[in-house]
Structure formats: structure tokens, C-alpha cells
């Protein structure tokens, strides 16, 4: 198994979140991009304003590393048009994968038609441009029933509106890695949440993101059936080390 082809190497902190200047934070992003190139990871996952930088570095290196970015990050409550505009800009800048934060707060309030339309319109945009689309459901913000229901909802929207040839291009993704939990509870992928997602969004693939920090954890997720792993600890995982990263 080439575990590197499962790894979406991720750096999504803003300068303020990292406690750094814009210049300092950009240098960290550059290091993550270069590391992804050097290690031949599947993808580099960065914020939208860094996509054009990644495109230039990857093209210069003649690398096959894909570029992913987040849309509506990290709360997911943006208006649909705002998400579509952000996605269009990312597409223009060279993104391959669009990881939308689903409006899970609207879902929790019972605004199901709003959520269905968001999933339909944003997925359509991504697939029309031959992009991979991922829907972040933020499992730490949901109870078990809600994880099951929103996973099934995404599956049903996709299966009702798109040809089966596209199913492998629309993922359900566990987490942003930035959700604030109480009492130090996990804020990312857990075995139980991933199992619920896999059981209820199939045949759509699953991406485990948030909290996967070691080789053993990554292998466990892959054995469960996930197709991608989002992690800020990609190199540590590839080297079978345990990361000290905080997300």
C-alpha cells in the first residue's frame, strides 16, 4: 500500500490563528506545498488565497500533486451564492478539489431544502468543471442520528441528480479540524463517526479529516474503507511517526 496516495496534506490556519504575520504564515504554506511535492502526497489542502501560489510551485516542479481548498470554511453558514463565488475563484486559480463546509447548522434547524439545494448547486458547479467535490459535515457538531441523516441526505441528492460515473468524485468528509468542542472531546474523525458515514453515504467515498495523526490511525481508517485522509501530519504518518500537531 502506498499510504501517501491517501494523504491530503493540510495547512489551513490563518495568520491570526497561527499567531504569525502574513509573511511568516505564507512561508509555512510554502513549506507544506514543497513537502507535498517532495513526498508525492496525493494532495495539498490549503486556503483559497493560497491556491495560485500552489499552482505555480507544483507546475514549476512538474509535480502531480493535486491542489485542494476549502469553501465556506470553517463554519459553513455562508450564503449559497457566496460559496459558489468562492468556488469559482478557486477553480479559476487552479484548484482540483473543492471541500465545501456543509451548512450543518441549517440542517440541525430542520432547513432541509436549503441544505439539499446547497449540495445540489455546489456539486453541480464542481462536477461541471471536472473537480472533486467534498462535503464537510463536522461530525463533532452532530449527534449520531444527525451524522447518519446528513450522510444519507448527501448521498440521496447526488444519486438523484448525477450519473453514477460521478459518484467517486463526491465525498463525504468528517471535519474541518477547527470545531471547538467541550471537555477536550475529539473534534475530528473518530472510528464510530467514520463507520456511520461509510454505512450511510455509500456508494459515495469518505474522507477522514481531523485528528488522524499517526500511521496506525491512518491505517485503521483505510481498513475501515476511507479513500482519503486529511491531516496536518502527513509526513509523520508517511514515516510511521506520531505527530504532535494540534489538528
Point out the residues that are catalytic: 99, 173, 207
Distance CA 147, CA 104 (A): 10
Distance CA 17, CA 220 (A): 30
CB 198 within 8 A of CB 190: no
All three cell numbers of 108, joined, read: 440541525
Based on the number of CB atoms within 10 Å of its own CB, is 227 exposed (0-12), middle (13-18) or buried (19 or more)? middle
CB 117 within 8 A of CB 161: no
Distance CA 49, CA 93 (A): 9
Amino acid at each position: 500500500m502506498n499510504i501517501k496516495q491517501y494523504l491530503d496534506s493540510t495547512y489551513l490556519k490563518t495568520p491570526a490563528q497561527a499567531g504569525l504575520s502574513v509573511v511568516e504564515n505564507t512561508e509555512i504554506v510554502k513549506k507544506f506545498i514543497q513537502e507535498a511535492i517532495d513526498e508525492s502526497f496525493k494532495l495539498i489542502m490549503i486556503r483559497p488565497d493560497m491556491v495560485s501560489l500552489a499552482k505555480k510551485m507544483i507546475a514549476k516542479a512538474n509535480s502531480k500533486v493535486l491542489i485542494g481548498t476549502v469553501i465556506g470554511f470553517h463554519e459553513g453558514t455562508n450564503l449559497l451564492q457566496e460559496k459558489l463565488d468562492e468556488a469559482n475563484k478557486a477553480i479559476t486559480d487552479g484548484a482540483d478539489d473543492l471541500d465545501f463546509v456543509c451548512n450543518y447548522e441549517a440542517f440541525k434547524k430542520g432547513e432541509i431544502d436549503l441544505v439539499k439545494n446547497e449540495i445540489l448547486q455546489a456539486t453541480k458547479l464542481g462536477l461541471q468543471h471536472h473537480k472533486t467535490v467534498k462535503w464537510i459535515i463536522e461530525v463533532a457538531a452532530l449527534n449520531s442520528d444527525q451524522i447518519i441523516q446528513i450522510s444519507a441526505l448527501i448521498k440521496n441528492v447526488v444519486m438523484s441528480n448525477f450519473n453514477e460515473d460521478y459518484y467517486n468524485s463526491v465525498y463525504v468528509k468528517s471535519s474541518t479540524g477547527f470545531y471547538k468542542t467541550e471537555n477536550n472531546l475529539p473534534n475530528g474523525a473518530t472510528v464510530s463517526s467514520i463507520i456511520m458515514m461509510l454505512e450511510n453515504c455509500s456508494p459515495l467515498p469518505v474522507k477522514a479529516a481531523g485528528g488522524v495523526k499517526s500511521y496506525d490511525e491512518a491505517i485503521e481508517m483505510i481498513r475501515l474503507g476511507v479513500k482519503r485522509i486529511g491531516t496536518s501530519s502527513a509526513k509523520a504518518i508517511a514515516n510511521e511517526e506520531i505527530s504532535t500537531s494540534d489538528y
